[in-house]
Amino acid sequence: MTTKNTTAQPQKREAWGRLRKLPSKRWQARYTGPDEKTYSARTEDDKPLTFLTKTDARAWLNRMHETIASGRWEPPTEAVRRRRAEAEAAALRDVTFRDYAEQWLQRIAHEPGKGGRRRRPGTVTSYRGRINNYLLEPLGDVKVRDIDTARVRALAADLTALPSVLKPGAGRNGIAGDVVDTLKMILRAAVKDGLLATMPDVMTPARKSVRHDDAHTPEDDVATPARVDALYRAVPQPWRIAVLFAAWCQLRRGEVLGLQRRDIVWNGDRTAATLYVRRQKNGTTGKLADPKSDNAVRSMSVPPLMIERLREHLDERVGSGRMAPVVPGRERGGEHLSASRWNGVWTVAREEVAGLPDGYRFHDLRHTGLTRFAQEGATLAELMRRGGHADVAVVLRYQKATMARDIDLAARMSATVGEEMQLEKERAKLERDRAA
């Protein structure tokens, strides 16, 4: 009985290199490189290469010999790395705006931005919305390397000419500037990545409010104390306290909706309170998150004007737990009121108050409160501290706003507003008496 030979045949010396027949009946080729190391034949993606016939193996050896003789040889592992790098570079050169924009979104969601802080999920979501809604249709299939000044200028002009979705008939749309700025951020990254030779020279379209015409001034959005009180009464319970937080504590919408019972610290007899802003409710994600910036984490004196109403609200409409939401979805509930639901409540309430500008925003109450603070003599640093503005650090190198000053300003503002409200009530009573 004969037995099958399963061992490889001895290597046979060629004019250059070596060949041997493997147990699989295929042929292996080996050679000594210029670096005096022995190499076996391998594919371009660095996998073992064998041959069906001896002739094929010898032909491969001859080609390798020619490569070495011409000085074009490189170690196989280095050749693989080079080819992969060249393939990746070629793919990048041909990347479309659609693919690169997605890569950019993924990058900025995890890498720190200016100041070393990671961008908030809501910020990344807003960028994605601008890309999906306004940039992918005109640029999605365009190679990034082909995006030049002429193309971007034409796109900016088209964006500027779009009609307003929020206010049909308005002379501007309110989105062109933000969209072009987002595009420019992506293109700057492409220049740094070597995909784009130069940054297109394009001006960002001017940003102007869609809600108002050019005759509107910021002072028009400052509500009188009587109208603030009317807005408070127009909002149903248990949410109307939000109006006072926005106007007299100058909080942003997300900061109001993110408040918890533990954020309000009373004095011994509950006649005064300090408010701590530690979080916000993100209007995009619906989750509790850090405030807008480091400077938005702050404390402030609650004006005496709203102390009684705040005390009543906490006692009657807020859950007893330390983390109970101050503006709950339902009375004494454990869930924070959502931004979308609040927007609906606010839209109805503002229509019930006469004398407000069209489309009066909840955020305008914050503008109202900060304006009144300024009228009471607050310095720029004190206004920035009260409002939690991000650029306050620059000013506070030279001026420091203290809690004592904050308490004084809050009390002075409260007294002035209270006097005006009393005068309004007395005028209204006189008018009623005359009419009777």
Which one of 75-89, 158-172, 315-329 scores highest in mean pLDDT?
Answer: 315-329
CA atoms within 13 A on the CB side of 351: 6
Tokens 């127009």 correspond to what residue? 234
DSSP 8-state class, residue 328: B
At 84 the pLDDT is: 84
Tokens describing residue 258: 């993110």
pLDDT computed for residue 284 by the predictor: 79
pLDDT of residue 217: 65
Tokens of 292: 């807008």
How many Å apart are CA 18 and CA 31, to the nearest integer? 6
Question: Given this model, what pLDDT does residue 35 score?
Answer: 92
Average pLDDT, the chain: 87
Q: With 90 as the cut, is the pLDDT of residue 85 above it?
A: no
Whole-structure pTM value: 0.64
Query: Phi and psi for 132 in degrees, rounded to 5?
Result: -65, -40
Predicted pLDDT of residue 397: 41
* pLDDT reading at 168 higher than 90: no
More reliable by pLDDT, 427 or 89: 427
List, in order of start, the domains of the chain with CATH numbers.
12-77 (no CATH), 99-192 (1.10.150), 222-435 (1.10.443.10)
Backbone angles phi, psi at 414, to 5 degrees: -60, -40
Contact 145, 89 (CB under 8 A): no
pLDDT at 110 over 80: yes
Higher pLDDT, 122 or 311: 311
- The pLDDT, as a whole number, for residue 200 is 95
**Tokens standing for 400?**
């420091």
Instruction: Report which secondary-structure segment, H or E, holds 79.
Output: helix 76-93
pLDDT exceeds 50 at position 394: no
User: Sign of dihedral through CA atoms 289, 294, 295, 298?
Assistant: positive
Res 331: pLDDT = 95
The residue that leads in pLDDT, 295 or 136, is 136
CA angle 130, 131, 134 (to 5 degrees): 70
Q: Quick one: how far is CA 319 from the chain centroid?
A: 32
